[in-house]
Structure 1
């Protein structure tokens, strides 16, 4: 009975956030359906990977580059209405695509423009939601709230390709876009019926938004991170984490296809997605514990172990097991990281600080994506071919031939994560250190008014 009472108490504490989360989850799944469906449409109409690559480029990079400016604006604006207007703007983009499709006027270059616009809207949504979350829940519930956020992300990754495939065959791309448009209005409705508290303003309401003041605000957010050694070190650690993740994300596909089929790859990724759902659900129920940094480094090390297992042998069960472990730990690591930043930074500068974090790790992720191919194709793969430099040493352990160089690169990526986690955990003595206060930032944040 006590467990039921505790559960009801938790739900009651998170009631406002749960309504917000449900609406945004529906909207996110709708977005993923459109992204998957448009990717198929572009490829079917161009029969080129380059066209699809440009859509991915315009969907990701613009949002990363403008994020620091977005963070400065989010700290000046009402966060609830920032999310609402960015949702409306994104819905307008989807409506434009529907009209172009129905009138047979949709061209490939239209998808690049809409991808760019969606990226900009998504940047405002992401930063505003991240800054709003700690204002909506009590501090001890931030971990659970972040777990719910990553649960919906994982669920969307698992279900969107399946749902999109079913819907495309029945209602085509136009119908898929209509589903996405409807999902926006579900998200908007939930936003209108809840309250998202605002932090105490530190910028005068009559102060104009000029380029120099925006740049000053961005610089202030960066100084807030630099002056806190713990956050600065955590930023460096997570940058390496995302760089490694960026590499391994690209390498999983060729690792499996080097010895098996696309069907096997689909099965493995479904198992990995189940791991991500399980990790997100575990984080939601558990909350991450009280020692957030211990949780962060422990599950990052577990992520590394999973990657080592995945790269060790050209075996479907072994790769599936390794990726399940890796993907299970990932949402716990990301949720805990978000909790640390949201708990450590005063609400009135969270937009700037979180946007700078997202910019740095976004660039690290992109570098990982770009370096994966040359490292595997030009360096590691030749070393593990028959007669290669490592064919008689490492090759005797993990095998030789196509894909084994990729396996070695994934093993090394996992070892980097594991070793770095141990080093950071012990050297900085973060086992007993937990970021539970934001008093330092509560005081220093007010200085921005004096300096503006």
Structure 2
């Protein structure tokens, strides 16, 4: 009954890492070189380990039967994933979603740096991350009892719209507002996916199923990290240089210059995310996941 609140609070904690570190990093790059940031980054390892050891002492667990082999564990996890068509489709669509997110994560910084500096970039990243903080706080304060499939489709569609707006103009205020609203959509989508899957998978195999889901969804990030830089540098940037092929058409809307090809690619990724949201809204198998205990595989 309190699932949406719990999910919101978890994401609230997760969003905290985006708040101070980008501003601090941008400031430090203005007064020092990259070596100082690398030293700080290395030192965070010790903070992580010590924190984990402290938390570990307060955790309790219970013994569970162990399967005979890793292969059987994987088979059981895959069976839990494919038992209901809607759960499997959510995992598969997750790859398309993470691909779009990977594009904007990879290209946002070089796009902003094409017309600004690292200090402005750090401040902008903190501002946009506040969107996730605000919506996570809202989710942690209310209880959502139904309508998760509609919430998923609408939040993903909104994220796609604001992602497209993020790449539309070389205006740091416009980009910050668009980024803030984009990040504000993500906790609602994450909570919806989390709820729809967890309430339709046997508690005994949650870990195995989520391990496979994580593997499938991360493929989108891998693809985005692999191709977005190449596409930006060798395809889209040349198209939107002042003498580029699209300078007289798309360039009239997005502008021309070194960062406009990146902006165009981010716009296309946002439109792809909108299309993914529309597809999700029309899938009966995903809407059927709401009827826990009624819907059959």
Q: 2:55 aligns with which of 187, 200, 211?
A: 187
Could you say which residue in structure 1 is the equivalent of 2:87? Answer: 231
Q: Is the 8 A contact 2:86 2:288 kept in 1?
A: no
> Aligned equivalents of 1:372 and 1:174: distance in 2?
28
* Per-residue deviation, 1:334: 1.4
Instruction: Indicate whether 1:305 and 2:161 are aligned.
Output: yes
* Per-residue deviation, 1:303: 0.6
Instruction: Indicate whether 1:143 and 2:11 are aligned.
Output: no
Q: Is the 8 A contact 2:158 2:185 kept in 1?
A: yes
Cα pair distance change 1:173/1:146, threshold 3 Å:
closer
> Aligned equivalents of 2:286 and 2:145: distance in 1?
12
Q: Is the 8 A contact 1:242 1:364 kept in 2?
A: yes
3-state DSSP of counterpart to 2:290 = coil
Q: 2:152 aligns with which of 288, 292, 296?
A: 296
* Per-residue deviation, 1:148: 1.3
Cα pair distance change 1:395/1:178, threshold 3 Å:
closer
> Aligned equivalents of 1:417 and 1:440: distance in 2?
27
> Aligned equivalents of 2:44 and 2:252: distance in 1?
50
Instruction: Indicate whether 1:263 and 2:119 are aligned.
Output: yes
* Per-residue deviation, 1:321: 1.0
Q: 1:428 aligns with which of 283, 286, 291?
A: 283
> Aligned equivalents of 2:89 and 2:112: distance in 1?
35
Ranges in structure 2 where 5+ consecutive residues have no aligned partner: 29-35
Q: Is the 8 A contact 1:256 1:265 kept in 2?
A: yes
Q: Is the 8 A contact 2:99 2:223 kept in 1?
A: yes
Cα pair distance change 1:363/1:287, threshold 3 Å:
farther
Could you say which residue in structure 2 is the equivalent of 1:353? Answer: 209
Q: How many residues align?
A: 288
* Per-residue deviation, 1:186: 3.5
> Aligned equivalents of 1:394 and 1:162: distance in 2?
33
Could you say which residue in structure 2 is the equivalent of 1:219? Answer: 75
Residues 179-210 of structure 1 show CA distances to partners (whole Å, capped at 9, x for unaligned) of: 44442244124325xxx678xx6xxx4x6x54
RMSD, matched Cα: 3.0
Could you say which residue in structure 2 is the equivalent of 1:248? Answer: 104
Question: Rg: which structure is higher?
Answer: 1
Could you say which residue in structure 2 is the equivalent of 1:20? Answer: none
TM-score by length of 1: 0.58
* Per-residue deviation, 1:340: 1.5
* Per-residue deviation, 1:308: 1.1
Q: Is the 8 A contact 2:96 2:276 kept in 1?
A: no
Could you say which residue in structure 2 is the equivalent of 1:414? Answer: 270
> Aligned equivalents of 2:70 and 2:163: distance in 1?
41
Q: 2:17 aligns with which of 140, 156, 159?
A: 156
Instruction: Indicate whether 1:395 and 2:251 are aligned.
Output: yes
> Aligned equivalents of 1:432 and 1:330: distance in 2?
19
The answer to which structure has the higher helix fraction is: 1
Could you say which residue in structure 1 is the equivalent of 2:196? Answer: 340
Instruction: Indicate whether 1:367 and 2:228 are aligned.
Output: no
* Per-residue deviation, 1:237: 1.6
> Aligned equivalents of 1:147 and 1:197: distance in 2?
27
> Aligned equivalents of 2:293 and 2:231: distance in 1?
42
* Greater RCO (Cα-Cα under 8 Å, separation 6 or more): 2
Could you say which residue in structure 1 is the equivalent of 2:292? Answer: 437
> Aligned equivalents of 2:273 and 2:219: distance in 1?
18
3-state DSSP of counterpart to 1:191 = coil
Q: Is the 8 A contact 1:288 1:336 kept in 2?
A: no
> Aligned equivalents of 2:24 and 2:44: distance in 1?
10
Could you say which residue in structure 1 is the equivalent of 2:233? Answer: 377
> Aligned equivalents of 1:247 and 1:189: distance in 2?
39
